[in-house]
Amino acid sequence: MISLGFLDSLFKKKVEGKTAEEWYALAVRETDPEKKIEYFDKVLKLKPDFAGVWNLRGLEFVVLKRYEEAIASFEKALEIRPSYPEAKYNKEDAETELRKMKAAEAKAREKEAKEEEKEETTVERTEV
């Protein structure tokens, strides 16, 4: 006779004493994006092919403005489920935000370089 405990462990794998469903429930109730990602990672450790969790994980990275990590999560969701419209849209949105952020950073560096150049020119003129 097979013990029920054996069946439970066979069908309900656990990480740190919780099932994927329990970690998912914690993630959904959590408000801190970092914690949500941590919980989603535990779900994915147990169910790595759960495209919906990869998508939700990506959304939390978007909240944190960590677009490259978000895009990687959306890509994983699409790898698992290529016709996942939400993941596709979210990936495109994250790519747009990443481009905007990089453009803003480049503009800030350009402005800083011009200000430094202006300061150097002003110093040279006062030394004459």
Instruction: Report if residue 111 sits inside a domain.
Output: yes
Q: Is 9 within the bounds of a domain?
A: no
| Residue tagged 């909240």 (tokens) | 63
CATH of residue 42's domain is 1.25.40.10
Q: Is the dihedral of CA 77, 84, 46, 36 positive or negative?
A: positive
11, 54, 78, 113, 116 from 94: Cα distances, Å: 36, 14, 14, 28, 33
Mean pLDDT (whole number) for 103-116: 87
pTM for this structure? 0.77
Q: How many domains does the chain have?
A: 1
CA triplet 51, 95, 72: central angle to 5 degrees?
A: 35
In angstroms, what CA-CA distances link 128 with 115, 120, 122? 20, 13, 10
Give residue 72's domain range. 14-127
Can you give the pLDDT at residue 89? 98
pLDDT value at position 24? 96
Q: What is the pLDDT of residues 11-51, one digit of tens each?
A: 567 777 889 999 999 999 999 999 999 999 999 999 999 99
Number of helical H runs and strand E runs in the chain: 6, 0
* Residue 111, pLDDT score: 85
In this predicted structure, the answer to whether residue 10 has a pLDDT above a threshold of 50 is no
**Which pLDDT value is given to residue 7?**
45
